[in-house]
Chain A
Amino acid sequence: MENNAVSVHEYLEGILFLKVHAFSKFHWESDSSKFIEAPDNTSVFHTTYTPSFSFEFKSFFNYIIFWKYYNKNLNIFMMMNKNCRRPIEWYKKLQREPMLNLLWAGMLLVGIAYAAFTGNISLVSEAALDSAKEAVTLCISMVGVMALWTGLMHIAEETGLIAQMTKAARPIVRWLFPDIPKGHEAHEHITANMIANMLGLGWAATPSGLRAMEALGRLEEERRKTGRSRLPEAAASNEMCNFLILNISSLQLIPVTIIAYRSQYGSVNPTEIIGPVMAATACSTAAGIIYMKIRGRKRQ
């Protein structure tokens, strides 16, 4: 419940440019499941919102603006409450890469130490400043492509196109995961996750993927109880392994960000990689499917 409120806070920050300090120390482990279980309706939002008030407004003035917006644009809030997870999931994905801490620090420290060793140290400060500047230029030129894509995807979502694609993909998922009983909720989440991945909607893929994992966890729990599974607790079920292999084999069809980067660095034809990427993705996914089918057969 709390996390539902957090997501609204974060969104507020984007819209109103208020300094809203949401619970700054919430962790990935604690939020993944609860976040998702939170229902999408504003009546809940009302009741839980006030008691969990834990942010500071910088001034009374901001506070007034906040209430004005809040009362006036309740329908916007409703809409946001439905959509708010997407940008935030993305943000989290970028912020919470556990390996990045060491990688990044390593890059800087090794780079500087090596430069001092080889006498290139004079180049380092210039490179650091230039790279920082370049990152900003890159982002500015990326905004266009990103906005175009998310805009299109929003149309697809609102008109029910994505829902239709999800429906169309159901037989494939049934073929890939034959052991999931018919009508089990896991089907739905897996399909949603796959479609989101195909369209490059990372922020929409993560929540549905986590939901799928949870559904698969419950399924395995049931199997354990009825004695159909001999796997110990805290071990991944076949379906979990298969789902992740599929996920990691990359299903993305149009690599939007790479296209944006390519055009920024002066590619004559930035989109020429779409076809090859589709072919390469098909290869990696096919390899993953073949492997998981072989492993799945072994167990029986």
Chain B
Amino acid sequence: MKLLGYLSELTIPLVIFYIVGYGLLQKKQVYEYFVFGAEEGLRIVVRILPTLVGLMVGVGVLRASGFLDYIGGLLGQAAGQIGLSGELIPVIIVRMFSSSAATGLCLDIFKEFGPDSLLGRTVSIMMGCTETIFYTMSVYFMAVKVKKTRYTLQGALIATFAGVAASIFLAGKMG
């Protein structure tokens, strides 16, 4: 775990140092490139905004109605036996279908339990190590007009569950 802690601390400084240093060695105008790219980041956020408004309102309504607590309690009884929190299961399921809806649920967990809680950490790691299975498959297979997906789904599910298990385990070890 200590090694992972160092990795967390060092990654971003190292990445910045390496990229900027490499650029300077190439005698390139790094700052100009940076500013050009940063503008793009701004545009990306502007484009995320409408989605985020929509989904956060959706999750906010669900939370206020008490439905999320109800589902969490319901699933919690079943999930508690294998050491899972009931709040986690909706995120895992939704994550397979839609990345932004999962983000909405994830933000709700950050708000309710805090990003540094066990649940908050688990969700953070899980969001980082899984992908939207059904969305990715539909986009890529549609592009080449493939109808029979053969063993893709099994493989994707296996990979995703390995990721989920790892994130629950690692979050438990943190802190």
| A-to-B contact residues, CB < 8 Å | 14, 28-29, 32-33, 83, 86-87, 90-91, 94-100, 103-104, 107-108, 110-112, 114-115, 118, 120, 123-124, 126-128, 130-132, 134-136, 138-139, 142-143, 146-161, 203, 206, 209-210, 213-214, 216-217, 232, 234-236, 240-242, 244-245, 247-250, 252-255, 257-258, 261-262, 265-281, 283-288, 291-292, 295
Q: List 28 A-B contacts (CB under 8 A).
A: A32-B143, A87-B44, A98-B135, A107-B59, A108-B61, A111-B58, A112-B65, A118-B65, A118-B66, A120-B66, A147-B37, A148-B38, A150-B37, A155-B28, A158-B28, A206-B139, A234-B146, A240-B152, A241-B152, A244-B141, A249-B159, A255-B124, A261-B115, A265-B114, A275-B6, A276-B8, A285-B159, A291-B158
19 further contact pairs, Cβ within 8 A, besides A150-B40, A244-B152: A94-B47, A107-B62, A115-B61, A139-B52, A147-B37, A148-B41, A151-B37, A152-B16, A154-B36, A154-B38, A158-B23, A236-B146, A244-B136, A250-B130, A267-B114, A273-B121, A275-B3, A275-B7, A284-B160
Q: Is B78 an interface residue (CB 8 A)?
A: no
Instruction: Select which of B47, B65, B124, B163 is within 8 A of A262 by beta carbon.
Output: B124
Query: Of A149, A247, A283, which one neighbours B41 at CB under 8 angstroms?
Result: A149
B residues at A contact (CB < 8 Å): 3-9, 11-12, 15-16, 19-20, 22-23, 26, 28, 30, 33-49, 51-67, 70, 94, 97-101, 103, 106-107, 110-111, 114-116, 120-121, 124-152, 154-156, 158-163, 165-167, 170-171, 174
Query: B55–A150 contact, CB under 8 A?
Result: no
Give the 5 A-B residue pairs with the shortest CB-CB distance, closest first.
A154-B37, A131-B60, A275-B4, A284-B163, A127-B64
Which A residues are in CB contact (< 8 Å) with B148?
232, 234-236
Out of B36, B53, B163, which one reaches A249, CB within 8 Å? B163
Q: Inside 8 A of B40's CB, which chain A residues have their CB?
A: 83, 86-87, 150, 154
* Nearest chain A residue, comparing its CB with the CB of B138: A98
Q: Which listed residue, B6, B130, B131, B143, touches A33 by the CB 8 Å rule? A: B143
| B55 in complex: contacting residue of A104, A124, A261, CB < 8 Å | A104
Q: Are the C-beta atoms of B64 and A152 separated by less than 8 Å?
A: no
- Determine how close the nearest CB of chain B comes to the CB of A9; give it in whole angstroms: 15
- List, in ascending order, chain B residues with CB within 8 A of A283's CB: 129, 162-163, 165-166
Query: Is B57 touching A132 in the complex (CB atoms < 8 A)?
Result: yes
